[in-house]
Amino acid sequence: MGVEIERKFLVQGDDWKAGQVGVAYRQGYLSSDPERTVRVRMAGEEGFLTIKGAARSGARREFEYRVPAAEAEQMLDLLCRKPLIEKCRYRIPFAGMVWEVDEFFGENAGLVLAEIELDDVAQAFELPPWAGREVTEDHRFYNAYLAQHPLNTWPGEDLL
């Protein structure tokens, strides 16, 4: 059984992007129940189906399977809730770790999040200078929530 341990941070500025090449992601949700989500994703030319459990103490169960790209595209177009999540993912090495930075487009344009996956909830790591406020425990910054409540529908409060 897979376990995902990750921390999420808002990204400040755009210094992180210098010289980086990202991969286009398109993803949608077949289920976004808080206890379990079922996601379909196209990452570049590859399709994936992912099932995640609820986050507890910074960790959650995760199962991910490759699916044929044509089938993933059909699920995204015909079965997933709209709007879909559109983003570009960048993998950026920093201090011996790899950070994944997601730059969102479409209805979540303007949002840039950085994630780091850990081996243990207590694992120490160094924050890059562009990592801002931590939002790991803020459900609004999970993709399943953003798919149902896109950033462009949030009230005018300054959350970023």
74-113 pLDDT per residue, tens = 999 999 999 999 999 999 999 999 999 999 999 999 999 9
Domain CATH number, residue 109? 2.40.320.10
Q: Of residues 29, 90, 142, 145, which has the active-site annotation? A: 29
85 within domain boundaries: yes
* Domain span at 122: 3-153
160 within domain boundaries: no
> Is 145 an annotated catalytic residue?
no
If pLDDT is split at 50, 70 and 90, which confidence band does 157 have?
Answer: low
**Which position has the token pair 């487009």?**
105
159 within domain boundaries: no
How many independent structural domains does the chain possess?
Answer: 1
49 within domain boundaries: yes
Taken in order 42, 155, 57, 97, the sign of the CA dihedral is positive
Over residues 37-80, the pLDDT tens digits come to 999 999 999 999 999 998 877 788 999 999 999 999 999 999 99
